[in-house]
Chain A
Amino acid sequence: MIRRRFIPLFAALAMHASAWAADVRVEVRSPGGAPIANAVVTISGPATTTALPADGWVMEQKGLAFHPFVLVVPPGATVSFPNHDQTRHHVYSFSPAGPFELKLYGSGETRTVRFPKAGTIAIGCNIHDQMTAFIRVTDAPWAAVTDASGVATFHDVEAGDRSINVWHPYQKGAPDATLGRESMIPAAGSVTQTFLLSIRKPLDLHSAY
């Protein structure tokens, strides 16, 4: 009888390998309440694991645009840049955190770049000036980009005092500053945090060239 009662408890503990963890939902909105997509949300603090893998990251070129617009990766990550357009691209960055140049390459081809250190890498194409994207390299154990509804969701964030930070490539103020807040992550359940961020989006020109 006693044995039967303990089986479900052991099973529950086994399923929650990262015991004493909670889900964290972060909403990023403008002061007017509009959802802000493409904001990078990081959760830092002592952690035993990082949620971000070092490989498998992709920055596509499709429809004369980079996809995703914002990518967040850990230091040392390798990012591939496949070209799915019919035209050729010449991808580069002058950002001190990870300058690189991928000389002209055509449809169906790909190149890879390794980003060893943390920072922001602004990416462009020398053929198509309207193409822009950002890679944010972070050593935070948990990081994600907000979706179209302005939400980033994290599962199994270890309980404890954590710092939640938000960054957006078009934020007002210092380009590398983050909007941060200390948060106590509970041992179970979920927690939601909302950040208000002011951004100034430049003109998005779609050109056939």
Chain B
Amino acid sequence: MPLSLEDQLDIMELMARYNHAIDSSQPEAWADTFTEDGVFEGSAGKVSGREEMLAFVRNRDQSNPIRHWNNNILIDGDGDDATAKVYLVTFDVTGPPEVRITGMYHDTLKRVDGQWKFTHRKVRADG
């Protein structure tokens, strides 16, 4: 069954919650955007499983406040499975915002108990 409008809005909102969680350093809220066996692949390598995810957020460099922004969200899917491609830009907002990195997320998602979650989120920085 193709994704409904509600599925698409829910997935976009999941991406927003992910950004709010990482930017306000909430380890549980960030880990909650992934399935139990979810994997995050960033510039520093792979993070998988709840414990590693909580530690990843706790140990992040928090010397400068950062904001993650998304745009051009493309979602494909069927039933309880989806994939997404999303533009990313991060800003250092210590003072007037400065662009830190740009890139793209490549996501796979699954609906678990009625909630969409990332099973795999890979970020590829531009350049």
Same complex for A and B? Answer no
